[in-house]
Structure formats: structure tokens, C-alpha cells
Amino acid sequence: MTQPTLCPHCPDGHTPADRGSQPWAVWVSDHRDGDGQPAILMVARTGGAHVAESDAEWMRARLNDRAPTNRAAILREAAEVFRADATETERAARRSYDPDMARTAKQLHAVAARLDRMAEEART
């Protein structure tokens, strides 16, 4: 997996394209080709959240079938998601001094580590 391009608007890191509270929507634009046929699909977050180059990279990879399809790659990608959630939860726990959130962050890290081990096993 390539390192995503940083978002200049999100100093704490742009929400990954496959997460967030606003799902993706797609519709056919009014733009037409020379024969009058629709030529462009428009893609956006349903709630109007901003997007970043990393979102475009994520979409291009999936649309052009460069997305990870083998078990090890899928497990590694899942581990990255859990690790990111763990990091966000750790930050929130430090701000709120909530011991339950700190425990949750440790559990999320443990899940990420387990997924990493499963990915390594899948490679062999």
C-alpha cells in the first residue's frame, strides 16, 4: 500500500477514504460528449465533507483494480485501520483522561497486532 498524500486541511490526518461518517455518493453529471452521451461521473461525500488527493488515490486504485486482493494485503490494510483507530482513541483518552478509552486503545492495538501476525502467516 502506498503512503497516502497528506491533506493540507487536516493537521491531525485526513479521514481515510474507507472510513468516516459520510458515505460516498456517485451520480452522472450533465457534461456530455460529442454524441450527447454522459461523459463524467461525479463522486463526493454525501454530507459535503472536503476531499483530498488521498481519496482520489484510493478511488483510482479500486476503479483500476489495483486494490489489494490477496489475503495478506487485506489483513495488512485492516491492521492499518485498527492502528489508526487506536491512535485516535489514544489522543481522545489523553484529552479526556478517560481510563476506559485508554483500555480501548490498547485493545485496538492488540487487534492490529493480531491482524499483522495473521497477514504474515498468510504470506507463507
> pLDDT of 26-61, one tens digit each?
899 999 999 999 999 999 988 888 888 888 888 888
Give the pLDDT of residue 40.
Answer: 92
Residue 14 has pLDDT above 80, yes or no: no
Asked, for residue 13, whether it belongs to a domain, the answer is no
Task: Give the residues across from 24 on adjacent strands.
Answer: 45
Confidence of residue 24 (pLDDT cuts 50, 70, 90): confident
Indicate whether 28 and 59 sit together in one domain: yes
- 17 vs 75, more confident: 75
Residue 55 lies in domain = 24-63
Domain count along the chain: 2
In DSSP terms, which residues pair with 50 in a beta bridge?
none
Domain-embedded: residue 48 = yes
What pLDDT is recorded for position 109? 92
**Predicted confidence (pLDDT) at residue 68 exceeds the cutoff of 60:** no
Q: Which of 11, 32, 63 is a domain's end point?
A: 63
Report the C-alpha gap between 94 and 12 in whole angstroms.
15
Place of cell 456517485: 26
Give yes or no: residues 76 and 95 share one domain. Answer: yes
Are 46 and 84 contained in the same domain? Answer: no
Is the pLDDT confidence value at 75 over 60?
yes
Higher pLDDT among residues 4 and 115, named by residue: 115
Q: What's the confidence (pLDDT) of residue 28? A: 92
Q: Are residues 50 and 88 part of one domain? A: no
Cα 60 to Cα 10, 11, 43, 57, 114, distances in angstroms: 21, 24, 12, 5, 29
Decide if 75 is inside a domain. yes
